[in-house]
Amino acid sequence: MIAKSQRGWSGEPGELLRVGAGFRLADVDPDAKPGYGRKKKDGAADLLAGEQELDELQERLYAQSREDPSAPAVLLVLQAMDSAGKGGIVRHVIGATDPQGIHLVAFKKPTPEELEHDFLWRVEKEVPGAGYIGVFDRSHYEDVLIGKVRELAPPEEIERRYGAINDFEERLVARGVRIVKVMLHISPEEQKARLGERLERPDKHWKYNPGDVDERLLWPRYMEAFQTVFERTSTDRAPWHVIPANAKWYARLAVQALLLDALEGIDPQWPAATFDVEHEKARLAAS
Amino acid sequence: MIAKSQRGWSGEPGELLRVGAGFRLADVDPDAKPGYGRKKKDGAADLLAGEQELDELQERLYAQSREDPSAPAVLLVLQAMDSAGKGGIVRHVIGATDPQGIHLVAFKKPTPEELEHDFLWRVEKEVPGAGYIGVFDRSHYEDVLIGKVRELAPPEEIERRYGAINDFEERLVARGVRIVKVMLHISPEEQKARLGERLERPDKHWKYNPGDVDERLLWPRYMEAFQTVFERTSTDRAPWHVIPANAKWYARLAVQALLLDALEGIDPQWPAATFDVEHEKARLAAS
């Protein structure tokens, strides 16, 4: 195991990025790199070192669950404005682990069937099973973000949802799911540059949606909705983390660090054999 | 695009490994490396070069499907005796692509609910959608492999299944799914060594199952069942490929090459913008 200091961190990302009492999103500089004092090129090496740790911890987590259906799991929840880098996190941080241990779900605009149910219905079905690292690319928080900004539900229903989310997450934590909630925070100027690049490059056109500009025009209202999400749902057992994300490389390092924290907190162990090893060696030798 | 010859292949893996008329599994040497004349260390570099191709083709495949629900997909079907390396293929070949474009399913022993339905019921639900690379780690072929060897269904039902499988796969192909069927072929001696290693190492005990030796004792009957599978279900539109897999590095290169063939056959293109690019540039600039 490589100590965190050797991966370039001067402080605990889990503490530095955590949304605590008195947090104000408006005070976060999207260009900052809290806790990481090294340069971009060092970041690449540190990310690689972290991948090896993540890989082993993920395998242990999975192994531990094979004989124990109540074993822990991890759930990474990713929220952000368009182009903030959720896809890059999935590709470069999650993509470095064994696909067999990952349960990735990209929540889209709800279908008519999903809309007939409570907003948590489709989410409950995707909670990671024992031993898995679940990844929600967008999540139940859409229902209090775009849901609030676009008034897709009455105000009293939006209001009800914060409590429902806390209850839901509390139940997950009680079942052994470590929840890592992350908002990737970019500046509106950075978004403009990124969307502009998608428009410049024909191989990026498919990533552009005219609706992205419609949402962009509501930036201040989204920031308010995020602020309320943090105030209402950053709990002790399932806190939010806001990661400055104008520098993609920093955001990836930070998400990786939060995942490593969660896994180190679980400290998964190779399970003991459930069979008689010597007896099996003899059977194998005779086969 | 790197030509196949530059990735170390002297022949077409798709042709060399394909199960055609008169194929006999007993004639395949699990130590062979058909079509690949270079060494293990070259194999690592060639695998890496292939990853970059696979990555771009996968992204194009996915992009193409975003505006076209009838766009193609790929389905990789992996079958093998225990410890033959399916997990390594998923980890090292599939794991090198963006997780967002992969639909991975590990089929386990059927649940009671699944047993109440036709054997294809659970499989139909997991067919990859447009733009995805689906991966079946075990598949509907279990129902004519262990199903046959262990007599889990009456002989006439096993008999019926070959035709049902061909019909099912024919439908998928007609819908635009390219099916890549792979058997990883190891020798019984190699399996003994691999299972032995799992017994020697406490961090590998979780991968060992006493049932593995039970199945191992039925090796000749499994080989017969595979031979019948090849004779009955290696069709022109969904042929089987048998990959010698005693050398893991060769098997990974070969599966990667078959996937690249499938994707190059589709030749996915970046989709044209469905919006007015200049108009969007103006909207973005004004936002």
**Averaged pLDDT for residues B265-274:** 95
CB contact under 8 A, A270 and B205: yes
**Averaged pLDDT for residues A244-260:** 97
DSSP 3-state of B180? strand
CB contact under 8 A, A283 and B213: yes
* Domain presence at residue A57: yes
* Domain presence at residue A185: yes
User: What are the distances in angstroms from CA B169 to CA B77, B117, B131, B178?
Assistant: 11, 18, 18, 9
Nearest to A203 among B196, B203, B270 (CB): B270
Search chain A and give the residue with CA nearest B279: A210
Q: Which helix (H) or strand (E) holds A30?
A: none
* Domain presence at residue A282: no
pLDDT by residue (tens digit) across A114-165?
Answer: 999 999 999 999 999 999 999 999 999 999 999 999 999 999 999 999 999 9
Q: CA-to-CA distance for A213 and A201, rounded, in angstroms? A: 17
Search chain B and give the residue with CA nearest A136: B100
CB contact under 8 A, A102 and B106: no
SS3 letters for A98-126? Answer: CHHHEEEEECCCCCHHHHCCCCCHHHHCC
Share of residues in chain B with pLDDT > 70 (%): 98
Q: Which helix (H) or strand (E) holds B150?
A: none
Predicted confidence (pLDDT) at residue A6 exceeds the cutoff of 80: no
Nearest to A213 among B271, B273, B280 (CB): B280
The pLDDT-based confidence of A7 (bands split at 50, 70, 90) is confident
Q: What is the pLDDT of residue A235?
A: 97
* Domain presence at residue A281: no
Q: For the purposes of burial, counting CB atoms within 10 Å of the CB of B236, is it exposed (0-12), middle (13-18) or buried (19 or more)? A: exposed
How high is the mean pLDDT of chain A?
96
Predicted confidence (pLDDT) at residue A167 exceeds the cutoff of 90: yes
DSSP 3-state of B179? strand
Q: What is the pLDDT of residue A36?
A: 94
Look up the CATH number of the domain holding residue A254: 3.40.50.300
Nearest to A199 among B137, B206, B284 (CB): B284
The pLDDT-based confidence of B236 (bands split at 50, 70, 90) is very high
Residue ranges making up the domain that contains B184:
4-62+70-266
Q: What is the pLDDT of residue B24?
A: 98
Q: Alpha helix locations (H) across chain A?
A: 13-16, 40-65, 86-92, 112-115, 121-124, 146-149, 155-174, 188-200, 210-216, 219-233, 248-266, 277-286
Average the pLDDT over each of A3-7, A58-62, B24-28, B72-76 and give the range with the smallest value: A3-7
Q: What are phi and psi of B135, to 5 degrees?
A: -130, 120
* Domain presence at residue B134: yes
pLDDT by residue (tens digit) across A191-234?
Answer: 999 999 999 999 999 999 999 999 999 999 999 999 999 999 99
**B202 vs A contacts (CB less than 8 Å):** 270, 273
- What lies within 8 Å, CB to CB, of B148 at 6+ separation is B158, B225, B228
The ipTM estimated for the assembled molecules is 0.92
Count of alpha carbons within 13 angstroms of residue B273, beta-carbon side: 18
Tokens 């629900």 belong to: B69
The pLDDT-based confidence of B5 (bands split at 50, 70, 90) is low
- Report which DSSP code applies to B59: H
SS3 letters for B85-133? Answer: CHHHHHHHCHHHCCHHHEEEEECCCCCHHHHCCCCCHHHHCCCCCCCCE
**A205 vs B contacts (CB less than 8 Å):** 270-273, 277
Tokens 């919006």 belong to: B275
Q: Which helix (H) or strand (E) holds B282?
A: helix B277-286
- The more confident residue out of B26 and B5 is B26
Average the pLDDT over each of A2-11, B89-98, B227-236 and give the range with the smallest value: A2-11
Q: What is the pLDDT of residue B3?
A: 63
Q: What is the pLDDT of residue A8?
A: 83
Is residue A268 a contact partner of residue A15, using CB atoms and an 8 Å limit? no
* Domain presence at residue B271: no
pLDDT by residue (tens digit) across B9-58?
Answer: 988 999 999 999 999 999 999 999 999 999 999 999 999 999 999 999 99
Share of residues in chain A with pLDDT > 70 (%): 98
**A217 vs B contacts (CB less than 8 Å):** 287
Task: Work out how many domains chain B is built from and give that number.
Answer: 1
User: What are the distances in angstroms from CA B263 to CA A143, B233, B258, B268, B269?
Assistant: 37, 22, 9, 7, 11
Q: CA-to-CA distance for A238 and A180, rounded, in angstroms? A: 7
**Among the listed residues B197, B82, B198, B177, the one whose alpha carbon sits nearest the alpha carbon of residue B135:** B177
**Min CA distance, A91 vs chain B (Å)?**
5
Q: What are phi and psi of A286, to 5 degrees?
A: -80, -5
* Domain presence at residue B278: no
* Domain presence at residue B131: yes
Q: What is the pLDDT of residue A11?
A: 87
Predicted confidence (pLDDT) at residue B2 exceeds the cutoff of 90: no
Share of residues in chain B with pLDDT > 90 (%): 94
**Among the listed residues A149, A174, A177, A162, the one whose alpha carbon sits nearest the alpha carbon of residue A234:** A162
pLDDT by residue (tens digit) across B125-171?
Answer: 999 999 999 999 999 999 999 999 999 999 999 999 999 999 999 99
Q: What are phi and psi of A125, to 5 degrees?
A: -70, -15
Phi-psi region of B58 (alpha: psi -120 to 50; beta: other; left: phi over 0): alpha
How high is the mean pLDDT of chain B?
96
